[in-house]
Amino acid sequence: MPRRTTEALRVLLLSAPLLGLTVGTAAAESESVGSWEIEAVYKNDEFDRCAISRTLDDDIAVTFVRTGEGLSLMLSSPNWKLETGKNYPVTMKLGPQSWDREVAAESSSVSMDVGDAKFVSGLRAANALNVVAAGATIEVPLDGSSAAFERLEQCVEKNERAVETNPFVVPARRP
């Protein structure tokens, strides 16, 4: 390889972190929407998902993840010791409405798909989501959730249909 090319590659690799370039890794860009943080996540420079999240008391993190396939909810805490692969029964309550579900467990988190249209619209309108589990009820405040869910939808729409018009310029990414 010619000396000039080698030097140019060396400068590019050394400056990549400063330029925000990633090589074969996941990258995320985030911003705040009220009490919620929204982020767009890319893997290998391809859009993967958008998510809104917030942390509650007792270090419980609440995350709604949106992909082209749908919406899911994840609750996690470093204080939880759960049986990986087990499904735990819960009741989800949004105001007067409730849904009996099972959440899939990892070592310190649970998750479930949110496919019910009434449940999704209730998330935008209710003041709180109560997750009633066998040992406790987790109250997730939904203040500002309408705006956060709107931005979540916009994030997915924008990033799924992003078309590169100039292959030599990195497209602008915004959650």
CA distances from 95 to 52, 54, 63, 131, 171 (A): 21, 20, 20, 12, 42
Instruction: Tell me the pLDDT band of 15, cut-offs 50, 70 and 90.
Output: very low
| 6-15, 26-35, 101-110: least confident range | 6-15
Across the chain, mean pLDDT equals: 81
Cα separation of 47 and 153, whole Å?
A: 14
Cα separation of 110 and 54, whole Å?
A: 15
pTM to 2 decimals?
Answer: 0.75
- Mean predicted confidence (pLDDT) in 72-94: 96
**Range 25-160 has CATH code 2.60.40.1880:** yes
